[in-house]
Chains A and B, each alone.
Chain A
Amino acid sequence: KAGVTQTPRYLIKTRGQQVTLSCSPISGHRSVSWYQQTPGQGLQFLFEYFSETQRNKGNFPGRFSGRQFSNSRSEMNVSTLELGDSALYLCASSLGGPGGTEAFFGQGTRLTVV
C-alpha cells in the first residue's frame, strides 16, 4: 500500500510569508499528527487530527494551524514566517491514534525561511 505522502518536499519562503504543507495518510488511517524537527530540539509535537477534529495541540504559537479533510488528508499552515520556523516538518499517520499503534511517517517537508 502507498505510504504517507507529504508535499512539497522542499520549500523556501521569505520572512513574513505564509506556507501550507500537505499530508496524505495511508489509506484507512484516520489519525494524522504533525511534528517539527530541528537539529537541537528533536521531534516537537504540533497537533493531531482524527476524523477532522483536532484532538491535541502542542506548545506552538497560534501562527501554526492545521486542519483535516473528510478523506483524512491534512494540511498545516504557518503564517507570518520567522527564521526560526526553518525545520523539517513531518506528518505521521496511524490507524486509531498515536501511541496505540505504529506511526508511519512521511518523508517530510524541508522548510527554509530566509
Chain B
Amino acid sequence: GQQVMQIPQYQHVQEGEDFTTYCNSSTTLSNIQWYKQRPGGHPVFLIQLVKSGEVKKQKRLTFQFGEAKKNSSLHITATQTTDVGTYFCAGPGGNKLVFGAGTILRVKS
C-alpha cells in the first residue's frame, strides 16, 4: 500500500536556527497536507499543496511540493519556542489520509 516517509524523526535546534522536515511518498499524490501537533495536543491543519512545484509561505514557514508530486518539505526560518511540536505530512490514499511518522521539533532557548 501507499507509504509516506518523513525525515528526520527528531530534531533539536537552538532558537533562531532554521529547521526543515522532508516527506516522501511511494506514489504520486493529488495533494499533500501538513499538520502540527503541539505537545499534549491534537494535530492541527497547516496547509494543503496541490500543484506540482507549488511553494506556499505562512510567515516563517515555507512549504514546497515537488515537481513529481511525490515529495514535500516544510522549512521554518529562525525557529521560536512556539514552534515546538510534531510536524506531520499526509497524503490521500483512497478514502483515507496516510500520515508520515512525523518530525518532533524541540527548540532550545
**Interface positions of A (Cβ within 8 A of B):** 31, 33, 35, 41-43, 45, 48, 50, 55-56, 58, 90, 92, 97-108
Task: Tell me the bound Cα distance from A56 to B48 in angstroms.
Answer: 22
B66 at the interface (CB under 8 A from A): no
Asked whether, in the complex, the Cβ of B101 is within 8 Å of the Cβ of A56, the reply is no
Task: Tell me the bound Cα distance from A31 to B95 in angstroms.
Answer: 9
Task: Tell me the bound Cα distance from A103 to B71 in angstroms.
Answer: 20
**Interface positions of B (Cβ within 8 A of A):** 30-31, 33, 35, 41-45, 48, 88, 90-102
Asked whether, in the complex, the Cβ of B43 is within 8 Å of the Cβ of A105, the reply is yes
Distance between B43 CB and nearest chain A CB, rounded to angstroms? 5
Q: Taking CB as reference atom, which chain A residue is nearest B88?
A: A43
Residues of chain B within 8 A of A33, CB atoms compared:
96-97
Task: Tell me the bound Cα distance from A78 to B30 in angstroms.
Answer: 33
Distance between A107 CB and nearest chain B CB, rounded to angstroms? 5
